Chains A and B, each alone.
Chain A
Amino acid sequence: MGMFGLSLFDLPFLTNNHTLGTGNIPSDSAESYADGIGLNGISGGVNGSHVYSLSWTTEYFDHNNYTGILASDDAESYSDGVALNGLSGGTGHSGAYVNHDY
């Protein structure tokens, strides 16, 4: 035990060299998860290996189904006279406008 109650084993932690994969901080590359599964309840990743390192303490809790405006478009990004079909301004949409003439 050295000064201030620290030991040589604490040196890596004190260096601020806590990048992903060094083993000092919990991390999750998400590589262990299958494509398309919901996040809620899964608990992959690795904890820091050192005795003073931080650790994950729970699985993921995913909150969704938020209320409020999910998509909007004020059209201000468009130029006068252009056709609507294919325009994709605004926020929150998952596709461009599809126009049909009658």
Chain B
Amino acid sequence: MASTIKVRTISAATETAISVANSGFARSINFGTGWTTIRVGLHLHMNNTGADLTGTPRFALGLCKGTTNLFGDSSTDHFVGICTTAATWTLGGSYYFNGSLFSPAKRVGSTLTTGTTFGQSVIARLDTGAKRSCCFVDITKGSPNYSFRHFCLSNVPTTDVSAASFLTQMESPTPALTTHTFYTAQTLAVDETANGTLDSICVSWDRLTAPIEICDIALARLA
């Protein structure tokens, strides 16, 4: 199923989102090569299947080389970011979660390499009321190890994060929101010279029955 646009009404306002379901997308951004730290951020929530999601669902967020061969394709040109590595996304009262949901990740060809998991991540469901949250990855260059930080909902969602708050947090070196956590850095070796310069945002979700809706997407240069 192709990624499509989904319009809802949230808090009496129109919320238009990119609904990703067994699909992925990329979009090029001219952020050059002189960056030290890039943040890719999503403002999101997801649909409910009524059951746990099993079989290691893959949700990925990060940067890729070009827009031709993406994270979820049979062969990837070069993806660097984070992806989910947990075998099961457990259904909670108003959310899906796992105690170690995301890991730093790179994919070159058909080889996925992941690092140490960050910790508990939660994605709120939209069937129990609006509880949109932030999901960021900060990518900092190193040689050879790039470092990755993850900012996400990490506990039972209690508030709905607004689009304005999302953008404010996107620009903050140390984002902070209720029930969100900014995890300490994990590392992974990355070689842009050998595998391709990262120049595009890339998002991927391999499940059809629980579309993830991306209400806002942004890229910020932090350093």
Residues in chain A within 8 A of chain B (CB atoms): 64-85, 87, 90, 92-102
Determine if A95 and B2 form an interchain contact, defined as CB atoms under 8 angstroms apart: no
Determine if A99 and B29 form an interchain contact, defined as CB atoms under 8 angstroms apart: no
Which of A67, A74, A94 lies in contact with B29, CB distance below 8 A? A94
7 smallest beta-carbon distances between A and B, as pairs: A80-B7, A72-B218, A95-B28, A84-B3, A98-B67, A78-B5, A94-B30
Q: Which residues of A contact B214 (CB under 8 A)?
A: 75
Q: Categorize the interface residue count of chain B.
A: 35 or more
Centre residue among A71, A73, A79, A90 by max chain B CB count within 10 A: A71
In the bound complex, how far is the Cα of B170 from the Cα of A94, in angstroms? 20
In the bound complex, how far is the Cα of B171 from the Cα of A38, in angstroms? 28
Determine if B4 and A83 form an interchain contact, defined as CB atoms under 8 angstroms apart: yes
Determine if B22 and A101 form an interchain contact, defined as CB atoms under 8 angstroms apart: yes
Determine if B2 and A75 form an interchain contact, defined as CB atoms under 8 angstroms apart: no
B16: Cβ under 8 A from any A Cβ: yes
Determine if A70 and B216 form an interchain contact, defined as CB atoms under 8 angstroms apart: no
Determine if A74 and B28 form an interchain contact, defined as CB atoms under 8 angstroms apart: no
Chain B residue nearest in CB terms to A88: B27
In the bound complex, how far is the Cα of B146 from the Cα of A43, in angstroms? 39
12 of the cross-chain contacts (CB-CB < 8 Å) are A69-B219, A72-B167, A75-B18, A77-B16, A80-B7, A80-B16, A82-B5, A83-B2, A83-B5, A84-B5, A98-B25, A98-B67
